[in-house]
Structure 1
Amino acid sequence: MKKGNKISILGAGNVGATIAYTLTMDGMASEIVLVDINQNKAKGEAMDIIQGTALCPPVNIYAGDYSDIKDSDIVIVTLGCARKPGQSRIDLAQGNVNIIKSVMPQAVHYAPDAIYVVVSNPVDIITYTILKTTGLPESHVFGSGTLLDSSRLRESLARTLEISPKNIHAYMFGEHGDSAMVPWSLTSIGGIPLKTYLNSMREKNPDFKGLDLAAIEAEVHTSGAQVISLKGATFYAIALSARRICECILRDTNTVTTLSGMIHGAYGIDDVCLSLPFVLDCHGISGMNAPELTAQEQEKLLASANVLKQTIASLDI
């Protein structure tokens, strides 16, 4: 009989291994399976983590094959090539789509009822591919999307305003990539609309120059590429994002968060996966909120959707 929560991670590269480590530190699961075409890599990563479990919450973490993901509550997909310096997420598309198409039938065969959390890039395209090729329910397949972008945005605002990022509600919508947009009209600081908050700061401090919103948005767009340029890959922040998603599922939190899911008509967008505020609980994504946007914001969101649609049209999915 299965005891506790079981999470399987497809791909034991930097991202998959760091997610496994992060979940272990948090005590999120009682069983973690690492699956990778490089079996020695998966075995080594599992051994490296499990040797420290006397010092953290107990977990049975091991390397396995697709048959070992049976009865998983969550399957995290990190398969595919990583983005290289100077390469966009979209540049990865066809190669990673081909990998996903070749391996997902095995995963779905052994874990048909799991919730699939897609981290592989380009995440919106890979999420769309899995939904179109597996027949899994849309509530059970979604990407990490702009959860990380939104975290980067909150950190940037927090650093600039010298306030905790936990007190900032700010989001990126659309593609997890260069066309993602910030709905500034929805941004708030401690429950206070951003515009009101900035006006209050100006009244208190005449020297306060305000925020360069365009510069902040540009920083968020380029921050991942900057990390890749400096150290070759990004994996810590996305691992924390994956941990947060697993927490929302396993603890049934009914949390509103920006994830990449299939869109049906919201803002005039249809048949594409991109990030909007979805409700996440033990059943996966159980609903989607479509807050009112300004005309300019909606135009930018439609442009982001069109970028993804054009890419999809160019691929063999």
Structure 2
Amino acid sequence: MKTLTNEKLTIIGAAGMIGSNMAQTAIMMGLTSEICLYDPYPTGLEGVAEELLQCGFDGINLTYTSDIKEALTNSSYIISSGGAARKQGMTREDLLKGNAEIAIAFGKDIKAYCPEVKHVVVIFNPADITGLLTLLYSGLKPNQVSTLAALDSTRLRNELAKHFAISPDKIKNCRTYGGHGEEMAVFASTATIDGKPLNSLIGGTDLSNQEWADLKIRVIQGGKHIMDLRGRSSFQSPAYLSVEMIRAAMGGESFKWPAGVYVSNHKYNHIMMAMETTIDKNGIVYEEIEGTPAEFADLNKSYKHLCELRDELIASNVIPPISEWKTINNHL
């Protein structure tokens, strides 16, 4: 099998449904010949590895370990789904403190065992905060850590395709920005439906204002809908999209959806949130968002919510004040 690179990719949380799907997707997409699976649950991890080895893939050196040092040493790329899973009745934010502590430990492990890593994708919830803490404690540069926010934009595309009863391929540039949570900002001004601006259709016979409002709620609660249908949180879509992100960082096809990125500018500061991003071999960068005043009001509300989550961790002494962050990571 021809692969994009021979550099080591480590998948954290590989015994879980997301992690095991990430591993299979990475192999089938031909990302790298060197894949290491890590999970603290050794029996489940061995089961995943055995299944993948029994697939009969050629040209892949697949290893697995429950030793985090072994897993991370010499890693060039990492995807982590290694937090507690969201359960029915929970919001992403309900996972805050426990997964924050996991993210802090993960960041410290990166700093200790693979400080030369090129890119890290963090997807365990609340991803905006866990990604921020991973960045803070890893000592990496802001362009080296990204989080999975694209799932909200792909859910918007799916809902629009269902509403208009057309192929998703005819729906372009769907965008959600801000937090990957209940306060995300769903933008209409960027999207087109079969060549027509979405904004021109809202309020008309094709998509009433109420239908648009209801559709946005379905996007925001897309993860809850999956749990209601399947009895467990999403795993196929986050696995696929996160592997697409790391593929772009490896120099593969560009990632076309907004991703979570560390933001510090004249509007938003010391936060990880979904922006208009580009991921390539140089990492992740963002550019200014364009939108309507109402959309920016939603984005500002989402930013405020993320700041409240961050500040809750500061107030409870889980992390230090922002003024001290530079002593932990001089890139921030």
1:225 counterpart SS class: helix
Give 1:182's aligned amino acid. V
Task: Please say if residues 111 and 137 of structure 2, whose CA atoms lie closer than 8 Å, have aligned partners that are also in contact.
Answer: no
- Decide which of 78, 82, 85 is 1:79's aligned counterpart: 82
Shift of 1:242: 1.1
Task: Please say if residues 104 and 137 of structure 2, whose CA atoms lie closer than 8 Å, have aligned partners that are also in contact.
Answer: yes
1:44 counterpart SS class: helix
Aligned to 2:55: 52
Change in CA separation of 1:190 and 1:108 when aligned onto 2, cut-off 3 Å: farther
Are 1:7 and 2:9 counterparts? yes
Cα distance in 1 for partners of 2:246, 2:56 equals 20
Task: Please say if residues 31 and 60 of structure 1, whose CA atoms lie closer than 8 Å, have aligned partners that are also in contact.
Answer: yes
TM-score, normalised via structure 2 length: 0.85
- How many residues were matched structurally? 302
Give 1:214's aligned amino acid. A
Aligned to 2:29: 26
Shift of 1:134: 2.1
Change in CA separation of 1:71 and 1:250 when aligned onto 2, cut-off 3 Å: same
Cα distance in 2 for partners of 1:21, 1:176 equals 25
Shift of 1:46: 1.1
Aligned to 1:297: 295
2:270 counterpart SS class: strand
Shift of 1:58: 3.6
- Decide which of 132, 135, 138 is 1:134's aligned counterpart: 138
Cα distance in 1 for partners of 2:74, 2:152 equals 31
Alignment of 1:150-229 (within 5 A): 150-168=153-171, 169-196=173-200, 198=201, 208-211=205-208, 212-229=211-228
| C-alpha distance after superposition, 1:149-200 (max 9, x if no partner) | 101110111122222223322111111011011121111235542234x39x
Change in CA separation of 1:9 and 1:122 when aligned onto 2, cut-off 3 Å: same
Shift of 1:82: 0.4
Task: Please say if residues 53 and 59 of structure 1, whose CA atoms lie closer than 8 Å, have aligned partners that are also in contact.
Answer: no
Cα distance in 2 for partners of 1:313, 1:104 equals 19
Shift of 1:40: 2.2
Give 2:274's aligned amino acid. S
Change in CA separation of 1:167 and 1:71 when aligned onto 2, cut-off 3 Å: farther
2:296 counterpart SS class: helix
Task: Please say if residues 92 and 126 of structure 2, whose CA atoms lie closer than 8 Å, have aligned partners that are also in contact.
Answer: yes
Cα distance in 2 for partners of 1:151, 1:242 equals 13
Cα distance in 2 for partners of 1:110, 1:233 equals 31
Change in CA separation of 1:250 and 1:167 when aligned onto 2, cut-off 3 Å: farther
| C-alpha distance after superposition, 1:45-84 (max 9, x if no partner) | 1111121034xx5422221233233332310111111011
Gaps of 5+ in 2: 320-332
Change in CA separation of 1:248 and 1:163 when aligned onto 2, cut-off 3 Å: farther
Task: Please say if residues 122 and 130 of structure 2, whose CA atoms lie closer than 8 Å, have aligned partners that are also in contact.
Answer: yes
Give 2:114's aligned amino acid. A
Q: Cα RMSD over matched residues?
A: 1.9
Aligned to 1:98: 101
Give 1:87's aligned amino acid. M
| C-alpha distance after superposition, 1:219-272 (max 9, x if no partner) | 111121121233222101111111211222223445453111111126x21111
Aligned to 2:38: 35
Gaps of 5+ in 1: 203-207
Calculate percent identity across the aligned residue pairs.
28
2:189 counterpart SS class: helix
TM-score, normalised via structure 1 length: 0.89
Deviates more, 1:237-246 or 1:184-193: 184-193
Cα distance in 1 for partners of 2:43, 2:248 equals 32
Aligned to 1:278: 277
Change in CA separation of 1:104 and 1:40 when aligned onto 2, cut-off 3 Å: farther
